[in-house]
Amino acid sequence: MHSIFWPGRVLSRAIRNGLSSFSNAAELNVSTKKHPYLVSVVCGFPKDIANGRSHKGQFGDDAWFSTNFNNADVIGVADGVGGWRAYGIDPGEFSSYLMRTCERLVRMGHFKMSEPGDLLAKSYYELLEHKKPILGSSTACVMILDRNESIMRAANIGDSGFMVVRGGRVVHRSHEQQHYFNTPYQLSLPPPGHDRNVLSDRPESAETAEFKVECGDVILVATDGVFDNVPEPVLVAEMRRAGEGAAGDGVKLQGVANSIAWMARNLSFDGCYMSPFAKSARQNGIDAIGGKPDDITVLLAIVAL
């Protein structure tokens, strides 16, 4: 698998670097053409562009990773719960540690291709044992492609998630897990004495999925800043564009990821827009309109041979 990183603030430089890296990776993958593999790209924005993080692996309080080991390609996103900032806790540390640990465990081969939920659990329990407590909460979604079996397996907890488009239609999609409106399932480590006041779900509560993939399948893994602001039909239309032509076209894939991320960013600050989030709020008796300002992370992948 090869991924191209596209931070929202350095677009022209990132695409030059990304294109160069992509061509090299394409040459390396020639010998494995009989097995499917993922070509992945990333684009995102912190909610506060002026002061938020925007570097490899993180956009604001969102975090992501993309890596591989032997015959497995693994991707994931996490969304730190911003409410911790009011208690002097950096919400991005929890999500970033969770994803960095997942990436390290994969690169070391300390994971099971058949159990993405186990990878997420190992990362979380390692976080709990850290000498210096890493406080906070996060949602997360991790996906593992078994190249030999052409099988994708996913584990999702909370309202980050994934969507798979094949032939212009959705064939697989995660379902958000909510305790109640705008309160997703989340992995947590609260400060001492706050255990009873903080929602904390076990990684074993993650929704899991397993399905066959085909060459040309387009896979979106994203945080709720995308799903809360961009309607599903619009996402599908964008993902359909990524699937047109030769599978593995990293340039086209990057353009679509950029488009989705920019769209989510712009709509999130549109106060007159009836966003998916506003529609959900109204279904829960809350008179709302407009987008939901949030960090945006778009990890877009295509299955290639």
Spatial separation of the C-alpha atoms in residues 197 and 208, rounded to whole Å: 27
What are the start-end ranges of the E strands in the chain?
2-7, 37-45, 54-55, 58-59, 62-69, 72-80, 136-146, 151-157, 161-166, 169-173, 178-180, 183-184, 187-189, 207-212, 218-222, 296-304
For Cα atoms 223, 147, 74, give the angle at the middle one, nearest 5 degrees.
Answer: 30
Question: What percent of the chain lies above the pLDDT cut of 70?
Answer: 89
What is the C-alpha to C-alpha distance for residues 85 and 184, in angstroms, rounded to an integer? 17
Do the Cβ atoms of 148 and 72 come closer than 8 Å? no
Is the confidence at residue 247, as pLDDT, over 80? no
At 19 the pLDDT is 29
User: What confidence tens digit (pLDDT) does each residue in 71-122 have?
Assistant: 999 999 999 999 999 999 999 999 999 999 999 999 999 999 999 999 999 9
The token pair that represents 208 in the structure block: 């899991």
pLDDT digits (tens, 9 = 90+) for 213-232: 999 999 999 999 999 999 99
Q: What is the per-residue pLDDT for 131? A: 86
The residue among 52 and 137 whose pLDDT is bigger is 137
> Please, what's the b/e burial string for 52-67 (b: 16 or more CB within 10 A of its CB; e: otherwise)?
bbbeebbbbbbbbbbb
Q: What pLDDT does 293 receive? A: 98
Q: Find, among 7, 1, 35, 43, the residue nearest to 21 by Cα.
A: 1
* The pLDDT of residue 169: 97
pLDDT at 5 over 70: no
Give pLDDT tens digits for 54-74: 888 999 999 999 999 999 999
Token pair 């599978």 in the structure block, residue: 247
Please tell me which residue, 246 or 278, carries the higher pLDDT value. Answer: 278
Model confidence at 38: pLDDT above 60: yes
Tokens of 234: 């619009």
Q: What is the CATH number of domain 37-304?
A: 3.60.40.10
